[in-house]
A and B are shown apart, each in its own frame.
Chain A
């Protein structure tokens, strides 16, 4: 239970960073933190206490194994998160070239 609670704390830290910070890089880091917390949550869902790896061997009977599907899901979301961060950082670099700042309060040419 405390693990889930810490996962929630991690999520809140990321959300705080996205909502409150002005620096683009810090916002991107916040998105990264939120993604990690969700990945952690997905892994925790599939975890069994004292569970073992779900590998089927011929001479063994497996009684208590962790859920492999959530691990596959986490792997996929890590890859998606990587490409998202990649695009975000590329945008941040180009924005810095154009505006000369990372401060989102100064990046405001679009109105209406």
Chain B
């Protein structure tokens, strides 16, 4: 499958072209990025379809076989996330074609955004630990720059905080990779799983596990490591917050974490317990801190921490049903949180404030924003027909089946708290008496409306992914994680 390399070439080339052509005319800077986004979405859908016929798609760079050369691999798990990443990035690019016009030099935004997209695609494709680290750094570095894109005092402060934390996380990950390399003399994940399975799990593996847990935990903003997220995600321009909250913490944090722990190191009971505890802690802390926020984007950022907690908790439960719930919740949270962040941007642009107490009655003025926000909120808080309900239900059922009654009670309570703060957000912002500052608000144009309408529709109809004819899409991802370190056999077969 030589097509896989285009997941990295297309965004990089488009980033370079956008910077080279450097269109000052306001409308045109977004054309190349949107075309690139369309190509990437087509590619990822094609790959997801090809996975029906082959378990693993592999591309050997330069024709070298894996122990010597690097290879790009798409399996069920990365195929699932590739579709989500490229679909939501495309929608966000369409949204920002209108939204980012108010910033000077918006072509720089598109360039950085495409580099970040390249990094995320690279993380999903790489089958090599050091490669994964390099792409992770590409995505994070452009993320730091994007958070500071508005160059106001708050943006810079948030970006610096994010950068220091992110740099520490990357160093922990690099240290872990170096130690694993010295123990197994290989960087390829399949080879490494092979080498580790023949040796006793000693002190080194526990130490490396702690390093990876801290590193990827920082990238995913699990609770003891979450301090940077509310600042960074609320200060960034809204399209950036949508991608950071919807995609970056999932690909750089959760995907990388689960790939390394499940498929490379081999998951042990201690790690599962740690993931379950950290997940439950993030759920509770995130939800209760979100409850008292009056800034909408800050509230959404804390809610991201809480939902990441659900995903990590479900991965920690570790049964196939729980992993299905976790993967499904990744998709649902990506769709609903990006819709909510984009809508927060529209609201901020329309009335010039992010303070919940200064808003009211926006539903009459911005009906599309109001209804799509309602869909996103209901999906996140888990109200029945919406997609988020099914994923939360799966997670809680799986936790009960695994005998974790106390944890599943916590999950149910947090779900109620989530509903409370989203209802408070909705009633204060969209219902009630119109505030004075809403008098001149007009409905936004098509480029702002359609992406959130599509995301809202995904929130509403996402539950259909669970019906048997579509379910393979999710189940292939579950199979990859459930197979654990035996995943290496599939890679070795595909290489031959």
Contact = CB atoms under 8 A, between A and B. Distances in A.
A22 interface: no
Interface in B133-161: 134, 137, 141, 144-145, 148, 151-154, 156-161
A45 B167 contact: no
Interface string A19-39: 000001001000100110010
Interface in A67-107: 69-70, 73, 76-77, 80, 83-84, 87-88, 91-92, 94-95, 98-99, 107
Contact of B181 (A70, A76, A91, A95): A70
A84 B167 contact: yes
A110 B174 contact: no
B2 interface: no
Interface in A17-71: 18, 24, 27, 31, 34-35, 38, 41-42, 45, 69-70
Given A18-B164, A41-B175, A99 B148 contact: no
B75 interface: no
B252 to A, nearest CB: 14
25 contacts: A18-B168, A24-B160, A27-B164, A31-B168, A41-B178, A42-B174, A42-B178, A45-B178, A45-B182, A69-B181, A73-B130, A80-B137, A80-B170, A87-B163, A88-B160, A94-B148, A95-B153, A95-B157, A95-B160, A108-B157, A109-B157, A110-B157, A110-B158, A112-B289, A112-B295
Given A31-B164, A38-B178, A80-B141, 5 more contacts: A34-B168, A73-B181, A95-B156, A110-B231, A112-B295
B475 interface: no
Contacts of A109: 153-154, 157
Contacts of B134: 76, 80
Nearest to A42: B178
A41 to B, nearest CB: 6
A87 B130 contact: no
A100 to B, nearest CB: 10
Contacts, number: 82
B171 interface: yes
A69 B181 CA distance: 10
B392 interface: no
Given A34-B171, A91-B148, A91-B163, A112 B230 contact: yes
Interface residues of B, number: 36
A1 to B, nearest CB: 14
Contacts of A108: 157
B135 to A, nearest CB: 11
Contacts of B171: 34-35, 38
B303 to A, nearest CB: 13
B298 interface: yes
Contacts of A70: 178, 181
Residue of A70, A73, A99 with most chain B CB atoms under a 10 A cut-off: A73
Interface residues of A, number: 31
B231 A87 contact: no
B293 interface: yes
A21 to B, nearest CB: 11
A94 B157 contact: no
B304 interface: no
A26 B168 CA distance: 15
A88 to B, nearest CB: 6
A65 to B, nearest CB: 14
Contacts of A95: 153, 156-157, 160
A86 B145 CA distance: 11
Nearest to A107: B157
B235 interface: yes
Contacts of B151: 94
A5 to B, nearest CB: 16
A72 B293 CA distance: 47
B181 A112 contact: no
A54 to B, nearest CB: 14
A84 B148 contact: no
Given A18-B164, A70-B181, A112 B293 contact: yes
Contact of A38 (B156, B175, B181, B293): B175
Contacts of A76: 130, 134
